[in-house]
């Protein structure tokens, strides 16, 4: 049943994307649908290294009337941690962008769905994200809270800036740091107490191949702040190496229409 739900989610998003593309022929062009296909050297999420081998993480989204429906997946190219070559996780998200002029504020829900047969976790979160785009540095704050599982929260703060290097080339620099409540840390790392979790700095070089197609190589350096969190990660996360610091490379194709 869960696999059927995952397949329906992906197909529904894809079909809606196709429908919007067809309607766009009779309407002014707008980036109402987006598809990304990145290949990454590891899967690191909120400081949790769940796969340190090559992965593909396809993403697709459709936006209409301020609502965005999206599907994301982690496809393992190695069977070391999942026991198979295939999707180890699929996330389905529904969000709404509040129509205000002074910032970008959105809220929504995420359903994280493991696809591995023996997975012993599930996660359902609600979230709110606020950004203040400007010509200097764009700050953002993201807050996530489970409503069904660990009933804790994770808060992320970040800064980013995009450098225009040419008509078709842009470089984005980003930094973020995350903080987890006690219940989140118990759920994720097996340790108690409110603690700083993870952080990362990254660079992404976006090159425009056509009007709607982009190629983006990227590199990210990620780490864990807290020594107790580091010890917990080594204990319960099978893909976490002896060094909690990690350099992740990626290459992505992006298509919007």
pLDDT digits (tens, 9 = 90+) for 145-161: 998 777 799 999 999 99
Residues in the chain: 257
Q: Tell me what pLDDT residue 178 has.
A: 98
Query: Which residues does 97 contact at the CB level (< 8 Å), separation at least 6?
Result: 63, 66, 67, 68, 104, 105, 106
Provide the pLDDT confidence category of residue 243 given band limits of 50, 70 and 90.
low
Q: Which two tokens stand for residue 191?
A: 């340790």
How high is the pLDDT of residue 31? 52
Give the domain ranges of the chain: 2-25+34-256
Question: What is the Cα–Cα distance from 199 to 177, expressed in whole angstroms?
Answer: 4
pLDDT in tens, 48-93: 888 888 999 999 999 999 999 999 999 998 877 666 678 989 999 9
3-state secondary structure of 58: coil
Beta-sheet pairing, 67-76 with 86-98: antiparallel
Give me the residue label for tokens 């936006």: 63
Q: How large a percentage of the chain has pLDDT more than 70?
A: 82
Residue 174 is inside which H or E element, if any? strand 169-180
The dotted CATH code for 2-25+34-256 is 2.40.160.40
Task: Find the mean pLDDT for residues 26-40.
Answer: 78
Which residue, among 168, 102, 167, has the nearest Cα to 139 in the 3D structure? 102
User: Is residue 180 a contact partner of residue 157, using CB atoms and an 8 Å limit?
Assistant: no
Eight-class DSSP state of 66: T
pLDDT at residue 12 above 90?
no
Q: What is the DSSP letter of 118?
A: T
Instruction: Report pLDDT for 30.
Output: 56
What's the pTM?
Answer: 0.84
Lowest mean pLDDT among 186-190, 194-198, 200-204: 186-190
Q: What pLDDT score does 79 carry? A: 75
């Amino acid at each position: 049943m869960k696999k059927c739900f995952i397949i329906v989610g992906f197909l529904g998003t894809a079909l809606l994307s196709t429908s919007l593309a067809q309607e766009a022929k009779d309407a002014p062009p707008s980036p109402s649908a987006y598809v990304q296909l990145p290949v990454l050297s590891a899967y690191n999420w909120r400081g949790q290294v769940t796969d340190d081998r090559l992965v593909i993480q396809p993403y697709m989204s459709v936006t209409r009337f301020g609502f965005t429906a999206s599907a994301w997946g982690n496809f393992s190219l190695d069977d070391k941690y999942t026991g198979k070559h295939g999707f180890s996780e699929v996330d389905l998200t529904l969000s709404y962008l509040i129509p205000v002029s002074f910032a970008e504020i959105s809220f929504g829900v995420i359903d994280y769905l493991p696809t591995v047969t023996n997975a012993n976790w599930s996660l359902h979160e609600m979230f709110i994200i606020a950004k203040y785009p400007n010509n200097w540095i764009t700050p953002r704050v993201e807050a996530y809270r489970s409503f069904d599982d660990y009933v804790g929260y994770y808060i992320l703060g970040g800064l980013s800036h995009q450098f225009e290097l040419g008509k078709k080339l842009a470089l984005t620099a980003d930094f973020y740091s995350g903080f987890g409540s006690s219940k989140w840390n118990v759920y994720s790392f097996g340790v108690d107490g409110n603690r700083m979790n993870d952080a990362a700095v990254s660079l992404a070089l976006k090159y425009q191949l056509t009007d709607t197609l982009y190629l983006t190589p990227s590199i990210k350096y990620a780490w864990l702040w807290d020594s107790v969190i580091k010890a917990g990660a080594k204990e319960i996360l099978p893909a976490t190496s002896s060094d909690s610091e990690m350099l992740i490379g990626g290459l992505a194709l992006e298509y919007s229409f």
